[in-house]
Amino acid sequence: MTGSPALDWLFRAAEARSAAGVHRVLRPRAADSVLLDLASNDYLGLAGDPRVIEAAAASVRLWGAGSTGSRLVTGTTDLHAELEYALAAFVGAPAALVYSSGFLANVGAITALAGPDCLIVSDAGNHASLVDGCRLAKSRVVVTPAGDLAAAETALAGRCEPRALIVIDAINSADGRLLPISDWHRLARRFEALLLVDDAHGLGVRGDGRGSVAEAGLAAEADLITTVTLSKALGAQGGAVLAHPAVIAQLIDTSRAFIFDTGLNPAAVGAALAALGILEREPALAKLVLERAAGLAGAAAVAASDSAVIPILVGDSNLAFRRATAMRDSGILVGCFRPPSVATGTARLRVTARATLTDGDIERFRRCLIATSAG
Q: Put the strands of the sheet holding 118-123 in their side by side order.
A: 95-99, 239-243, 224-229, 194-198, 163-169, 118-123, 140-144
Q: Give me the mean pLDDT over the 45-64 stretch.
A: 98
Is the model's pLDDT at 3 over the cut of 90?
no
Closest CA to 297 of 232, 340, 357: 357
Residue 2 — pLDDT band, cuts 50, 70, 90? low
Residue with the larger pLDDT of the pair 162 and 373? 162
Is the model's pLDDT at 19 over the cut of 50?
yes
| Selected catalytic residue, list 201, 244, 305, 317 | 201
Q: What tens digit of pLDDT does each residue of 231-279 get?
A: 999 999 999 999 999 999 999 999 999 999 999 999 999 999 999 999 9
Instruction: Please give the pLDDT value at position 374.
Output: 64
Is the model's pLDDT at 46 over the cut of 70?
yes
Residue type, 284: A
Residue 1 — pLDDT band, cuts 50, 70, 90? very low
> Is 101 among the residues known to form the active site?
no
> Is 287 among the residues known to form the active site?
no
CA 4, 8, 9: angle at the middle one, nearest 5? 140
For the chain, what is the mean pLDDT? 95
| Selected catalytic residue, list 67, 122, 129, 173 | 173
Q: What tens digit of pLDDT does each residue of 306-342 get?
A: 999 999 999 999 999 999 999 999 999 999 989 988 8
- Provide the percentage of residues in the chain whose pLDDT is more than 90: 90
Structural contact between residues 167 and 225, judged by C-beta atoms closer than 8 angstroms: no
Instruction: Look at 24-38, 134-148, 234-248 and tell me which has the smallest mean pLDDT.
Output: 24-38
Instruction: Please give the pLDDT value at position 222.
Output: 98
Is the model's pLDDT at 147 over the cut of 50?
yes
> Is 201 among the residues known to form the active site?
yes
Residue 195 — pLDDT band, cuts 50, 70, 90? very high
Q: Say whether 257 sits in a helix, a strand or coil.
A: helix
| Selected catalytic residue, list 80, 127, 185, 232 | 232
Q: Burial letters for 40-64: b for 16+ Cβ neighbours within 10 Å, e otherwise?
A: ebbbbbbbebeebbebbeebeeebe
Structural contact between residues 227 and 241, judged by C-beta atoms closer than 8 angstroms: yes
Q: Which domains does the chain have, with CATH numbers?
A: 24-48+283-372 (3.90.1150.10), 50-281 (3.40.640.10)
> How far apart are the C-alpha atoms of 159 and 220, rounded to whole Å?
27
Instruction: Please give the pLDDT value at position 343.
Output: 87
